[in-house]
Structures are given as C-alpha cells and as structure tokens.
Chains A and B, each alone.
Chain A
Amino acid sequence: MNGIARSMLTTLSTFMRKPVTRDYPVVHKELPKTDRAFPLLLWDHEIDEPFCTGCHACERACPVECMTVLMKDNPNHKSLGGDSSRRKIIDKFWIDYGRCMRCNICVEVCNFEAIAMNNTWTGHETSVYDRRDLTMDLQQLLSQSRAGKINEWVPVIGQANEDPAAVKAE
C-alpha cells in the first residue's frame, strides 16, 4: 500500500505549486526573437518599397517549392528619376503557407535581407476555413513589416556570439 499512498502524496503535493498553464487566447506567451512561424517579406521604410528584388534565389532553394516569384523593372529607379538603387523589384510573390515547412532556408539564401521568419503571434494563428486562403500574395506578405509590427531578426549562419571580455580588451 505504501506505493499507492506515495502516488496520492505526489498528487497532493502539486496543489502547493504554482500553475503552469496560461489562459491562452486571452494571455499570449512572450515569444523569443528566434521564434519561427512563416516567412514574411520586409519593407524598406527609407525608400518606401520592398527590399526584395525578385532574384529567385529563395524560390530555387525552397525544399518544398512553395514560393512563386515574378520580378519587374523598378519604376522608382534612379535612371527613371526615382530615388531607389534597385534596378529590378518584386512584382508578384506568393508563398503557400500550407506547404511551407518553416525551414528558414529562404531567409538564409536571400542576399538582400528581404525576407524574415515571422516571430510574432500572427504567424502562429493562421487558421482559415479554406486551404486556398493559405496562399499569401505580395500585399499580405508585406503588410506586417510595412506596419512595423515585426521583431525583425535575420540570422547570420554560423556566426558565434561575441565574447564581451574579448571585445572590451580590444
């Protein structure tokens, strides 16, 4: 009987502990900056256009081929009297969130830091009634960064933390 009594005691002892659950839809856990939901395109606030030049690098590197990229000539380029240095710019962009496996590869291959993983709650709460609604177009992909509601974090692959002591010694 000792064992059973001990089981009961274990259960009883948890009454003394703090609850670990959260009142989820009301209270959201704070997400770390490394958190990965789905990829988003970033907005260049200085020039007021997307960073993305439509170079297809991410499209080719995506393992599940869930991206579609179309580029166009940038009407805002310097040679045309605009103030952007991007000769080409993104025209249409689709990412099928239903197929994306959140592997971060598109972020790694982009040379323009134009794409980042969404690390806010909007990326996790993407349920829809029709799976076709999961295919995001350019406007949807850009809107969050344009509104400044993303905690931008683009990792540099293989970069180690800097040792604060070594930095001070320099």
Chain B
Amino acid sequence: MVASRETYGTEFETQDLLLNVGPQHPSTHGVFRMVLQVDGEVVKDVIPHIGYLHRGAEKLCETMDFRQGIGFMDRTEYLAAFNAELSYVMAVEALADIEVPERAQWIRMILCELNRLSSHFMFMGAFGIDVGVFATPFIYAWKEREQILDLFEEVAGDRMMYAYFRPGGLAWDVPHNFKARVREVLKSTRIGINDFDGLLTKDEIFRTRTQGVGVISAEEAIEWGMSGPSIRASGVPMDVRKDEPYLFYDQIDFNVASRTEGDVYARYSCRMEEMWESVRIIEQCLEKMPDYGPIMPEKMPRMLRTPPGEVYIRTEAPRGEYGIYMVSQGGNRPYRLKVRSACLSNLQALKDMSVNQYVADAIIVLGSIDIVLSEVDR
C-alpha cells in the first residue's frame, strides 16, 4: 500500500518501544533505572526500578549506638547531611528527653539553612545540564557551593559527611569568627543567586523548554505523598518549618515559596525563591544567636541510653519532609529505625508527570524533582 497524505500514520502497524534509561546514565542523578515505553518520541508509560543503592542503613543503625548512627544518617542524604542528622538527633533527644541549649539550636539552624542553599545550588547546576544549558550554570553553582562547603569544613571538619550534631547539641564549638564567615559566604551567595536569576529564570529559551512540562495537580501530588518544593510548586503551601515549627523557626519571619502551575518551571522557581528565603532566615539567625554560651547540656552521659518509647520527628530537608521514626526498648540503640524520605515519595509521582510527554521532557521532569538516590534507597 502506498502511503498517501490521508492514510499516513495508520497503515503502519507500529509497536511501542521499551527504552531503558540507566542505571548508569548521567541524567538519572545516580543509580536509578527507568524503562520508558515510547510511541515514537512520546512516553506512554514509565516503569521505575529503584534499589540499586540500597545499603540497609536503617537496619544497620539498629546495631549501632546513638552516636555511631549519626554517620550513617549523613550518608542517607549526602547533599544535605546536616538536615538528615538533625532529624536523627532530634528523635534521640525527644526519646531521652534532653534539653538542647539555645545557642546550639541557633547554630543548627544556620547550618541547616546553609545546607539547603548548597543543596539547591547543586540542583540548579544539575538541572541546567538536564535542560541543555550546558556547563555554564553547573560551574557557577559549583563555585557558590564551594564557598559554603569551605565554611562547613571550618566548622564541622568535613565537606559532606559532617557527623557534627550530637544528641544534646553539637560536637564542638564553631570557630570564633563564625558569624563573620557566614556573612562573607552570604555575600557571595547573594551574587550567585542573582547570577542564576540572570542566567536561567528570565531566559526565554529556558522558559519555553520548561513551562507547561510535567504538570502535576495538587490533588495528585497530595495523593502521592509528595513534599518539599515539589509539592509547593503545585499550589500546596506545605512546609514543616511553618506548620510544625521545630528549632526556632517560630521566631523567624519567612515566607513559604509556592507556585500554582505545578510544572517543571514552577518547581525550579519555587526553589529559587526558597534560596532567597534561606538567606533571609540565616541573616535573622545571625542577629539572634548569642556569641557565647553552652552548646551541650552540662550532664551528658558518656553512653547515652533512652527509656522505652517511640517518636516520629519530621523536619524540612531541601527535598521535602525528612522524617525519622524511632522505637526504643531502652538501652543504647534504637530497636527500630525508619527513615521517611521525601525523595522516595516524590519519585513515585514520576509516571503521572511524564506520561504523554516527549522523552527529552521525561528527563527534565526527573531532574526537576531533585532526587538523591541514596535517600530513595537508603
């Protein structure tokens, strides 16, 4: 049969193609594998395969005492390890009923917000590459992130796996010039965020590429249990820092960034606004933080033991709600530890977001929910 203009596209008995992406694919942000069922260029179905990075951190922590577990929590969420540690030590503190000194809480808050900045910078850079703005934003993001990591190194001793928060407070005190150094970093960060505003936010090519792609409605997002910037971009202004303030977030004036479009661009600009908010939060913290004071309660036992009980502590990590569910039967280690990771829930919505989009768009949808695979698999 000769193809004519009228019958074009119907005379071929085409079959959908299964296209394997990952697990070692640069655009899957780690070892994530997805099988795309494609009809030509259009994605019809997404089958995600997770578990390549499963290390059993939760189970491992059941054999570790509370201090040893901190290091493993770092590694579940390596791009925002302070936030992961925070949930863990707050869970231990709630179980053992420890009062954390005020100054330690302010320092924790500053470090967590700085970590949010560094994590979002990482997102900006990697997302730029996904979208096809080749290496320029990536290197800019790296430059800014580097400043923050340098500060972390001076404070906590390590650039990514800090092991710095302890049940009760902090391991050791911050350097004497901490406040000045944070201000210095913020100065460069402000320039950095501005750069990104100039590079991407207003760019017409970038907007055409991302607006209206990978839309997810508020109802669907809630049903999938999404959290963090990914759900706020769909018009659900849910933020643990506002809804259930922990640390001193109730004493700080900040806005919850949210958008209503629910597309890739909304998720991007939501994060962008969050970075400005983080800068504001840190500035207020610096004002309120006392210069000197204890960082741990006076009487901390050498080996911490908790009474039996169970807690669920949730905090707002850069990618969403990072929760720790901890059961203790007494003794110096948790009986059961469960990490509620935001990335796992966010990733589940990938299918809803990318069906009936082009293959290239499926990639930027995956990039826009900003997953860390070690947090998905633990």
Complex interface residues of chain B between 274 and 300 (CB less than 8 A to chain A): 291-296, 300
B5 within 8 A of A: no
Is A32 in contact with B68, judged by CB distance below 8 angstroms? Answer: no
Contacts of B146 in A (CB 8 A): 20
Contacts of A158 in B (CB 8 A): 166, 168-172, 295-296, 300
Is A163 in contact with B292, judged by CB distance below 8 angstroms? Answer: yes
A80 within 8 A of B: no
Residue from B70, B140, B200 within 8 A of A103 (CB atoms)? B70
Is B198 in contact with A6, judged by CB distance below 8 angstroms? Answer: yes
Is B199 in contact with A161, judged by CB distance below 8 angstroms? Answer: no
Is A7 in contact with B292, judged by CB distance below 8 angstroms? Answer: no
A61 within 8 A of B: yes
Contact with A along B156-172 (1 / 0, CB 8 A): 11100101001011111
Shortest CB distance A127–B (Å): 17
Shortest CB distance B176–A (Å): 6
Residue from B64, B172, B198, B296 within 8 A of A7 (CB atoms)? B198
CA of A147 to CA of B169 in the docked complex: distance in angstroms? Answer: 36
Is A4 in contact with B157, judged by CB distance below 8 angstroms? Answer: no
Q: Choose among A35, A63, A105 the residue with the greatest number of B CB atoms under 10 Å from its CB.
A: A63
Is B67 in contact with A117, judged by CB distance below 8 angstroms? Answer: no
Residue from A1, A10, A31, A160 within 8 A of B173 (CB atoms)? A160
Complex interface residues of chain A between 1 and 44 (CB less than 8 A to chain B): 1-4, 6-7, 9-11, 14, 20, 31-32, 34-36
Is A2 in contact with B171, judged by CB distance below 8 angstroms? Answer: no
Q: How many A-B residue pairs have CB under 8 A?
A: 107
What bracket does the count of chain A residues touching chain B fall in? 35 or more
B348 within 8 A of A: no
A20 — nearest CB in chain B belongs to which residue? Answer: B143
Segment at the A interface, from B116-124, B203-211, B222-230: B203-211
Shortest CB distance A155–B (Å): 4
Is B199 in contact with A61, judged by CB distance below 8 angstroms? Answer: no
B244 within 8 A of A: no
CA of A151 to CA of B243 in the docked complex: distance in angstroms? Answer: 46
B268 within 8 A of A: no
Is B70 in contact with A166, judged by CB distance below 8 angstroms? Answer: no
A70 within 8 A of B: no
Is A11 in contact with B158, judged by CB distance below 8 angstroms? Answer: no
Q: Choose among A31, A32, A103, A155 the residue with the greatest number of B CB atoms under 10 Å from its CB.
A: A103
Shortest CB distance B108–A (Å): 14
Contacts of A103 in B (CB 8 A): 68, 70-71, 161, 163
Is B198 in contact with A9, judged by CB distance below 8 angstroms? Answer: yes
CA of A101 to CA of B161 in the docked complex: distance in angstroms? Answer: 9
Residue from B168, B203, B206, B292 within 8 A of A160 (CB atoms)? B292
Residue from B157, B172, B175 within 8 A of A159 (CB atoms)? B172
Is B71 in contact with A36, judged by CB distance below 8 angstroms? Answer: no
Is A10 in contact with B204, judged by CB distance below 8 angstroms? Answer: no
Contacts of A63 in B (CB 8 A): 64, 68-69, 71-72
Contacts of A2 in B (CB 8 A): 202
Shortest CB distance B159–A (Å): 9
Q: Choose among B67, B140, B200 the residue with the greatest number of A CB atoms under 10 Å from its CB.
A: B67
Contacts of B300 in A (CB 8 A): 158
Is A34 in contact with B153, judged by CB distance below 8 angstroms? Answer: yes
Shortest CB distance A100–B (Å): 10
A102 within 8 A of B: yes
Contact with A along B117-147 (1 / 0, CB 8 A): 0000000000000000000100010010010
Shortest CB distance A34–B (Å): 4
CA of A49 to CA of B70 in the docked complex: distance in angstroms? Answer: 34
Q: Which residues of A contact B (CB under 8 A)?
A: 1-4, 6-7, 9-11, 14, 20, 31-32, 34-36, 61, 63, 101-105, 108, 117, 119, 155-163, 166
Can you list 27 residue pairs at the A/B interface with Cβ under 8 Å? Answer: A6-B203, A10-B198, A32-B154, A34-B155, A34-B156, A34-B172, A35-B157, A35-B158, A36-B158, A63-B68, A63-B71, A101-B71, A102-B158, A103-B70, A104-B157, A105-B71, A117-B157, A119-B157, A155-B172, A157-B172, A158-B295, A158-B300, A160-B103, A161-B173, A161-B174, A163-B291, A166-B292
Instruction: In the A-B complex, list the 6 residue pairs whose CB atoms are closest, starting with the nearest.
Output: A158-B296, A10-B198, A163-B292, A63-B68, A3-B202, A36-B157
Q: Which residues of B contact A (CB under 8 A)?
A: 64, 67-72, 75, 103, 136, 140, 143, 146, 153-158, 161, 163, 166, 168-176, 195, 198-200, 202-207, 291-296, 300
Q: A61-B68, A160-B295, A162-B292 are in contact. List 9 more A-B contacts (CB 8 A).
A: A20-B143, A20-B146, A34-B155, A157-B172, A157-B296, A160-B103, A160-B294, A161-B176, A163-B291
